[in-house]
Amino acid sequence: MVLPALKSLLKSNRQLLYFLRAWRRWWLLTFKYRFKSVGENFTFTRGIRVVFPDTVVGNDVFIGHDCYLGVQNLRIGNYVQLAPQVAITGGDHRFDIVGTPAVHTGLEAHYKIRTYQKGVTIGDDAWIGYGAIIMDGVTIGEGAIIGAGSVVTRDVPPYTIWVGVPARQLRNRFPSIEDAWEHSRKIEGSFYQQHSAVDAAESK
Ligand SMILES: CC(C)(COP(=O)(O)OP(=O)(O)OC[C@H]1O[C@@H](n2cnc3c(N)ncnc32)[C@H](O)[C@@H]1OP(=O)(O)O)[C@@H](O)C(=O)NCCC(=O)NCCS
C-alpha cells in the first residue's frame, strides 16, 4: 500500500527523486564506505564493502555490485572499472606465530593495530573482470585487463591482458606498443609520460 504510493510519488516528482538519490549517495560515501577520497563521476552500485578508510579513487571510476575492497593502501586510478564481485584481499592474517591461531591475527582492522598488508595499486583505465581476485601487494598496470574469475598474484604490466588461476599473460591489449603509447597519451596516463621521459633522455 505504502510502497506503490511512494513509487508513484517519486515518478511524478523527479526533483524529489534526484534529491533522495543525491542524499543517499552522500550518506553512503560519508558514513558507510569511508573512502579517503573519490574523484569526479564516481559510480558504485549496491553491496560494496570498503574495509580501510585510506582507499583513494580517481575520476570516472565504476565499482560494480558486491565488490570487496579489503586492503590498506588501495589506490584506484582514473577510468578504472571493477566488474561485480571483484575482491581485493590478502595479507590480512598472520599464520606463522607459534601458539596464535590465524583467526586471532585478523582483528587488526577493528582494533586499529597495524596489519601486514602492502597495498594494491590499480592503474588508469584498468578493467578488472567479473569475480576476479587481486591479492595484496599487486600493482595492476595502466590499461591492463584482468579476465573474469582470475586470481592475480603478481604485478601486471601496463596494457596487457591476464587471465586464469593464477593469472598469466594472455596477450597485449593493443597490437603495437605505439598504439598503447597513443592511447595513454590521449587519456593522460603515466605510461605515456614515462615513455616521453625515456625518449627525451635518449635524444640528448
Ligand atoms: C579477458 C577477456 C577480456 C579476453 O577476451 P578475448 O581477448 O576476447 O579472449 P578470447 O575469448 O579470444 O579467449 C582467448 C583465450 O583466453 C581464454 N580466456 C578468456 N577469458 C578467460 C578468463 N576469464 N579466464 C581464463 N581464460 C580465459 C580463452 O579460453 C581462450 O583460450 P584458448 O585460446 O586456449 O581457447 C575476456 O575473456 C574477459 O574475461 N572479460 C571480462 C568480462 C567481464 O567480466 N565483464 C563484466 C562487465 S564489467
User: How many of the other CB atoms lie within 10 Å of CB of 150?
Assistant: 25
Confidence band, pLDDT 50/70/90 cuts, at residue 92: confident
Average pLDDT, integer, range 24-37: 87
User: What pLDDT score does 107 carry?
Assistant: 57
Q: 93, 110, 183, 195: which one is catalytic? A: 93
**Residue 72 near residue 92 (C-beta atoms within 8 A):** no
Cβ neighbours of residue 69 under 8 Å, at least 6 residues apart? 48, 49, 50, 51, 52, 55, 63, 88
User: What pLDDT score does 110 carry?
Assistant: 54
pLDDT in tens, 144-199: 999 999 999 999 999 999 999 999 999 999 999 999 999 999 999 999 988 777 77
Instruction: Encode 155-164: b = buried (16+ Cβ within 10 Å), e = exposed.
Output: ebbbbbbbbe
Confidence band, pLDDT 50/70/90 cuts, at residue 15: confident
User: What pLDDT score does 154 carry?
Assistant: 98
User: What pLDDT score does 166 carry?
Assistant: 98
Average pLDDT, integer, range 3-28: 85
Atom of ligand 1 nearest to the CA of 130: 44
- Across-strand partners of 37? 56
CA of 37 from ligand 1 middle (Å) equals 32
**Residue 171 near residue 153 (C-beta atoms within 8 A):** no
110 catalytic? Reply is no
pLDDT > 70? residue 87:
yes
User: What pLDDT score does 114 carry?
Assistant: 60
pLDDT > 70? residue 84:
yes
Residue 177 CA to residue 169 CA, distance in Å, equals 16
CA of 164 from ligand 1 middle (Å) equals 9
Task: Supply the residue whose CA is at minimum distance from atom 33 of ligand 1.
Answer: 170
pLDDT in tens, 96-112: 888 888 887 775 545 55
Confidence band, pLDDT 50/70/90 cuts, at residue 115: low
Domain boundaries, the chain: 1-32, 37-173, 176-204
Average pLDDT, integer, range 73-84: 97
Atom of ligand 1 nearest to the CA of 131: 44
pTM (two decimals): 0.90
For residue 68 the three cell numbers come to 570487496
pLDDT in tens, 41-71: 999 988 999 988 899 999 999 999 999 999 9
Atom of ligand 1 nearest to the CA of 62: 48
User: What pLDDT score does 188 carry?
Assistant: 95
User: What pLDDT score does 21 carry?
Assistant: 85
CATH of region 37-173? 2.160.10.10
